[in-house]
Structure 1
C-alpha cells in the first residue's frame, strides 16, 4: 500500500467513525437548555394537569426546566402537527392522547402522520371518562337520562373538548348504543367546557374524571356513570355504563409522551428511562390517584402497539358514527 492509498484509507476510516461517535457525544450533552412539552389543549384539562405533574419531576431528573406550552385547536391536531414538524433534537415533546388516534380517521386532511412522524416514548396514565350532568338536569340515572333524551331528540346538549376527540366519539357511541340523538357542542378544551357545563349552557359531558372530580365532590355536577369497563377508584360508587344498561361500553382516555420521529435513539432512551422512573415513584402515583388517573409507564413498543390498535378500533367507530371533518 503506497502513501496515497494509506492516507485515503485512513481518511475513509475516520469519516466512517465520525457518524457513529457524534450521536453518542451529542446525547451526552443533551439537554443543554429547557425542554418544551407541548400540550394540545388549553390549561386546566387532564392533558395539561398530567403534563405539568410529569414536567415538574422531569425537570429535576434532566437538570433543565421542562416548559409546558399549550397549543390548543382542531381537536388536538395543531399541537401534534407542531411537534411532528419540529427539529428532532429532543427539545420539543408532545403530551399526546387517545384523541390523536381518532383524528387520523376523523380529519380528511392532516399535515402529519401520527404513526410515522412521531416517536412514542411511554404512556403516562389512563383516565376514565365520566358522564356528568348539570344538577338542573332532572335525570338521576343513565336510564332516566336516556328517557329524557328520547323525549327531546336533538335537544340535550353535550360538550366535548373538540370535534373528533375521544369525548366526541364517546358521545357518538352513547347515542348509538342508547338509541338517542344528542346535540354535540365542541370546545377547545376541558376548561371552557367545564365552565359552560357548570353554568348550565350545556346539559352534560363525557369528560375525563380529572377536571370534573372537584365539582362532583362539591355537588356542582352529578356523575351518572363512568365509560370504562371498571369503576373509577376516584368514584367507586358511580356505576359503569355497562352496569347502567349499555352492555359492552368500554372507552377511556390514555395520555403519553412522543417526540419527532428522527429524535436520536439515545435521547429517546434517556427520556423513557427517566419518565418510567418518575411514573413508578410513590410520590407521582399518589398525585395520579388524587386526580383519578391510573399511572401506566412502559416501553415505546408497547405505546406504539396501543396507538396501532386504537387507530384501527376508532377507524371502525368513526365510520359507523359517520364522523368526518376537514
Structure 2
C-alpha cells in the first residue's frame, strides 16, 4: 500500500512538473462580445506568456452558461481544460431543476479574476433621466416596460426581478443569448432597459447613445464615478454585481491549481491588467482557491433565496 501511495504521488508530482506540455483551452460559456469574453482574451494573452504554452479561448455558450460548465466538468482533470466561471453559475444551481453537474462539487476553484458592476441603462432617447423618473414612467405606462438580460436564470434576470419588486412595479423580462444582441436591441429601442455588466455598454454610455441611471453594487464604479448606486437612488441595501473567475475540473492536481493561481494572480495585480480593467469597467480581484470556494458557497445560498422569492425555474 505504501508503495502504491508513493507511486501515485510520484505520478502526480511528475505531471505537475511537466505541465503544461501542450495548449490549454479556456472555455467561455457565453457568446463573444460580453464581459466574460473580453476578460478571457485579456487574461489568455498574458497567461500564454507566463506558462510558455498557448491558452486558447473556446466559446461554448448556451442554457444560461451551463452547457460550457458541463463540458468542463466532464473534461479530463489534467489542467488543459479550464472554465471562465461566473456568478451566473451559482444562480443556475437553483434556477435549473436538473443540472448534469454540481457547481460546488464538480470543480476545483482557481481564483476570482475580476468583479464587474452591473448598471441600469436606458436608451438616450428615453424620458427617464434617473431611477425615480424611470419608476414613475413604469407606473404611468399602460403597458409593461421591458428589460433585457443575458438569458433566463442569469444574474441580470434576477436583478431585474429584485428591482421591480423593490420599486413596486411590473417589468417584462426579455431574455437574450448574450450581451451583444441585447446591447444592439437596447441601442435600437427594441427593449427599454437592461441591467447588464458595465463592459458591453460603457463605450455607448460615454458616446451618449445610452444613459446610465445607476449601478447595482453597494459602491459606485470607478469607471462611472458620477453614476449613483441603486441604494443611493432609493432602493435601500441593493447590492448585486457580477464576478468572473477560473475553475478547473474536480480532481485537477493541487500543484497545477496552485500554479494557475500564482500566475493568474500575478497578472490580475499587474499595472497593465489593471489599466485594461479600468477601460472596460471591471475591478481586478485575484484571490485564493479557498476564498473563491467561499464566494461560490455564499452566492449559491444568497441566490437560492432570490430565485425562490422570484419563483424562477427552468426545466
Aligned partner of residue 218 in structure 2, secondary structure: coil
Provide the rounded CA distance (Å) in 1 between the counterparts of 2:68 and 2:2: 43
Q: Look up the match of 1:264.
A: 253
The alpha carbon displacement at 1:214 in A equals 0.2
Q: Look up the match of 2:47.
A: 58
Q: Look up the match of 1:9.
A: none
| Aligned equivalent of 1:179, options 168, 186, 189 | 168
Q: Look up the match of 2:13.
A: 24
| Aligned equivalent of 1:170, options 147, 159, 163 | 159
What are the ranges of 5 or more consecutive residues in structure 2 without an aligned counterpart?
Answer: none
Paired positions, count = 315
Contact 1:128–1:226 under 8 Å retained in 2: yes
Residues 101-250 of structure 1 mapped to structure 2, 5 A cutoff: 101-152=90-141, 155-250=144-239
Q: Look up the match of 1:299.
A: 288
Aligned partner of residue 146 in structure 1, secondary structure: helix
The alpha carbon displacement at 1:119 in A equals 1.0
Provide the rounded CA distance (Å) in 1 between the counterparts of 2:66 and 2:6: 40
The alpha carbon displacement at 1:99 in A equals 0.4
Provide the rounded CA distance (Å) in 1 between the counterparts of 2:87 and 2:284: 15
Contact 1:39–1:51 under 8 Å retained in 2: yes
**Pair 14,317 (structure 1): closer, same or farther in 2 beyond 3 Å:** closer
Q: Look up the match of 1:4.
A: none
User: Which shifted more, 106-115 or 153-162?
Assistant: 153-162
Please provide the CA RMSD for this pair. 1.1
The alpha carbon displacement at 1:234 in A equals 0.6
Aligned partner of residue 65 in structure 2, secondary structure: helix
What are the ranges of 5 or more consecutive residues in structure 1 without an aligned counterpart?
Answer: 1-11
Aligned partner of residue 240 in structure 1, secondary structure: coil
Aligned partner of residue 201 in structure 2, secondary structure: helix
Aligned partner of residue 199 in structure 2, secondary structure: helix
The alpha carbon displacement at 1:233 in A equals 0.5
The alpha carbon displacement at 1:136 in A equals 2.7
Provide the rounded CA distance (Å) in 2 between the counterparts of 1:172 and 1:194: 19
Q: Look up the match of 1:8.
A: none
Q: TM-score, normalised by structure 1?
A: 0.95
Are residue 312 (structure 1) and residue 301 (structure 2) matched? Answer: yes
Contact 1:175–1:181 under 8 Å retained in 2: yes
Aligned partner of residue 149 in structure 1, secondary structure: helix
Q: TM-score, normalised by structure 2?
A: 0.98
Provide the rounded CA distance (Å) in 2 between the counterparts of 1:322 and 1:17: 52
